[in-house]
Structure 1
């Protein structure tokens, strides 16, 4: 149901006020941002700032944001993370043999492992003209425009033909001891036949409200394969608004799994284009939302070439007064004959105060396709709970077992062992923590 006009107008006012604050910050920081001496980058930032000025923060009057309200963002006075990167941070343990760390959006060589195929984007900006920003849209995506204007650093991953980058964990830490923002920009380019397993973990430390708003640009060349496991474990008051752009060439694969566990408000948006024959995309995920949390998984899958398969299963578990959103759109161009697309959203409600908004969509212009979508909403099976309780299993443990079993189908679709283990670890014990 659309918001009343008067509420929409007040949202528009909040959006404009919040946007003005960020634009003021951009003007103040403009001369200090990395790459200011590069004319092409300065022009890119200025165009993005103007695009953000024209759009403001999206409100619920925008169809794609109908179910997610950014008022907590526009009502907070954010500052910039002025203090230097510190090594004395209680970082979570490694989820991969190699790890690279960003703190408040900036690369930390001291906290990162050596011999990792990841470089600091800020240190290599002169090499990136024509590549940085090639996939990311700013004219109709204001959060991407804001990131483009304000980013300070990010990960640069470039693999050569047939190169195997192994398993790499990209850990983004935001120190939530004050209201700050981090806008890292990550650029991943896989040449023909290259392979990479990227475990991206977003993690917050502290109690204050903060904003972590990363943007990824992922280029997958012919025959290349990337597994991108995304684990959002922000602090309880954090705001996480991320966007991924992926372009997949002939025979390439973008295999992604998104897990929302933390943050007060989170939205992960993915724009994936299959541009070569037999390119493939998997956009699976899960959201585990406790009392007071809002999680939004939004995807746009563009089939622009023939013989391309895509799979998407997103499962959402909601406890207390939480709200989950799933929006998934598959667009099949006329040239994309023999497309095979599947999309499913399943929700498990653990409370009568929880809410799920599900909006799967198909837009098909080709004749020879096999596409389907669906959504289901349910509760825990009382018979299964009784069966476990009758065998002496405590109620909280029994519920946790059933919740993890509900999620297991989606997680088992991650074929890379390290990524699957990291996801399973983040899910384990979630109900016991939220039932306390």
Structure 2
């Protein structure tokens, strides 16, 4: 791979900065994308490319993006991972007994557990008809449109009614030794009464510049339950832009926890619809941001059926010159009587150079609801730090313990023990590493 000015070459792929470069790449690779012989998929890709061409990357003039600037993405040139990476890789310790691994957007069978209830999407696109794109909007979400046009592979999980998929780790590794852009697409469908714990982990190997932009779609049928633990542990130069869609039927549950603990620029966006009576959603999370990092947690939760509870607690810890963003909107349709919605955002500033932007929102059209939201911003209690130091605890350790205690409430909301342990391990000792 070579670079000249702002133009990056990777094999025979040439990508200029900004939206035009990604469109150029799409045109050059269109015939090579998996599934192009499937008419429904080829048409969907083409429509998505047109949608992205019409919109381009969002700017801060777009209300949903007013706090997050994509200039680092639009000013950089990204190539593609044309060459398959074979052989052993330095992977993080497994977070679950069954692991499925993707490297630079492509499935690695040699690193994956064949017993996991996961198929790679590139080889099973025929089974994805009717599921791929059923939730993911492209007409007003340009990053989703780009992913739909450009994805090469991903995970396909399709559980039958009553099936227990157990605990699965979905690990995506990006090799940050060259400026590449990858767009994984993951599809999850749970039949009635099915269960799954999915630990989605995005991990960057190296400190170079790259883009990882995954899209996930969850169809949760009646009385089904999915726990979705999301660990974003990208490399220091990484850009992580993910979008999750979930639709939950009657009595089903989508239980999610997001942890931002890496990347130079990260935004995780979730669009969740409670579509049947007594469906439930938990959209909890934490952001650990060190000097020079930007983390954005944005959620859109729609109550479109009666008697549905939702809970959301997002906590952000900021050190150095970092910036955190929380945008959470709860929309209660007129039909969604007896909605019970709660939303809270709390930030802990460890530096006078850190910044937090918090924007909780409620939009309610029903008259029999119980909804609340709030936001708090504070600092570590220096009296507590002094007390711990007086008991012989080093200052860095004392601050680390207080930070972990601040985050504990959010992490404890994860009911699955394996997922909770993986999150707690990622949180542990964070301050001592960045201090």
Whether the TM-score (by the shorter chain) exceeds 0.5 is yes
Q: Residue in 2 aligned with 1:238?
A: 238
Would the aligned equivalents of 1:87 and 1:111 in 2 still touch at CA under 8 Å?
no
Q: Distance in 2 between matches of 1:95 and 1:218?
A: 21
Q: Distance in 1 between matches of 2:86 and 2:168?
A: 22
Q: Residue in 2 aligned with 1:261?
A: 261
Would the aligned equivalents of 1:232 and 1:262 in 2 still touch at CA under 8 Å?
yes
Q: Residue in 2 aligned with 1:169?
A: 169
**What does 1:311-390 correspond to in 2, within 5 Å?**
311-390=311-390
Q: Distance in 1 between matches of 2:108 and 2:79?
A: 20
Q: Deviation of residue 415 (structure 1)? A: 0.9
Q: Deviation of residue 86 (structure 1)? A: 2.3
Would the aligned equivalents of 1:85 and 1:108 in 2 still touch at CA under 8 Å?
no
1:193 aligns with 2:182: no
1:49 aligns with 2:70: no
Q: Residue in 1 aligned with 2:3?
A: none
Q: Residue in 1 aligned with 2:90?
A: 90
Q: Distance in 1 between matches of 2:293 and 2:127?
A: 41
Q: Residue in 2 aligned with 1:32?
A: 32
SS of the equivalent of 1:363 reads strand
Would the aligned equivalents of 1:227 and 1:255 in 2 still touch at CA under 8 Å?
yes
Q: Deviation of residue 62 (structure 1)? A: 0.1
Q: Distance in 1 between matches of 2:206 and 2:31?
A: 30
Q: Deviation of residue 207 (structure 1)? A: 2.1
Q: Residue in 1 aligned with 2:393?
A: 393
SS of the equivalent of 2:256 reads strand
Q: Distance in 2 between matches of 1:399 and 1:129?
A: 50
Range with bigger deviation, 356-365 or 200-209: 200-209
Q: Distance in 2 between matches of 1:360 and 1:175?
A: 36
Q: Distance in 2 between matches of 1:17 and 1:27?
A: 15
Would the aligned equivalents of 1:105 and 1:182 in 2 still touch at CA under 8 Å?
yes
1:325-383 deviation line (CA, Å, top 9, x unaligned):
00000000000000000000000000000000000000000000000000000000111
Q: Deviation of residue 131 (structure 1)? A: 1.8
Give the total of aligned pairs: 420
1:107 aligns with 2:107: yes
SS of the equivalent of 2:254 reads strand
Q: Distance in 1 between matches of 2:29 and 2:354?
A: 41
Q: Deviation of residue 39 (structure 1)? A: 0.9
Question: Structure 2: 5+ residue runs without aligned partners?
Answer: 1-15
Would the aligned equivalents of 1:338 and 1:370 in 2 still touch at CA under 8 Å?
yes
Q: Residue in 2 aligned with 1:160?
A: 160
Q: Distance in 2 between matches of 1:218 and 1:242?
A: 14
Q: Residue in 2 aligned with 1:130?
A: 130
Q: Residue in 1 aligned with 2:7?
A: none
1:49-82 deviation line (CA, Å, top 9, x unaligned):
0000000000000000000000000111100101
Q: Residue in 1 aligned with 2:305?
A: 305
Q: Residue in 2 aligned with 1:9?
A: none
SS of the equivalent of 1:43 reads helix
Would the aligned equivalents of 2:49 and 2:146 in 1 still touch at CA under 8 Å?
yes
Q: Residue in 2 aligned with 1:4?
A: none
Q: Residue in 2 aligned with 1:8?
A: none
**What does 1:4-19 correspond to in 2, within 5 Å?**
18-19=18-19
Q: Residue in 2 aligned with 1:116?
A: 116
Q: Residue in 2 aligned with 1:214?
A: 214
SS of the equivalent of 2:111 reads coil
CA RMSD of aligned residues (A): 0.8
Q: Deviation of residue 88 (structure 1)? A: 1.9
Would the aligned equivalents of 2:135 and 2:245 in 1 still touch at CA under 8 Å?
yes
Would the aligned equivalents of 1:104 and 1:182 in 2 still touch at CA under 8 Å?
yes
Q: Residue in 2 aligned with 1:274?
A: 274
Would the aligned equivalents of 1:269 and 1:298 in 2 still touch at CA under 8 Å?
yes
Q: Distance in 2 between matches of 1:104 and 1:222?
A: 35
**TM-score, normalization by structure 2:** 0.96
SS of the equivalent of 2:143 reads helix
Would the aligned equivalents of 2:17 and 2:77 in 1 still touch at CA under 8 Å?
no
Q: Distance in 1 between matches of 2:64 and 2:359?
A: 10
Q: Deviation of residue 17 (structure 1)? A: 5.9
Would the aligned equivalents of 2:248 and 2:274 in 1 still touch at CA under 8 Å?
yes
SS of the equivalent of 2:408 reads helix
SS of the equivalent of 1:211 reads strand
Q: Distance in 1 between matches of 2:318 and 2:253?
A: 31
SS of the equivalent of 2:29 reads helix
Q: Distance in 2 between matches of 1:262 and 1:207?
A: 11
1:109-156 deviation line (CA, Å, top 9, x unaligned):
011012000000111112222221100000000000000000000000
Q: Deviation of residue 250 (structure 1)? A: 0.1
SS of the equivalent of 1:110 reads helix
1:12-57 deviation line (CA, Å, top 9, x unaligned):
xxxx960000000000000000001111111100000000000000
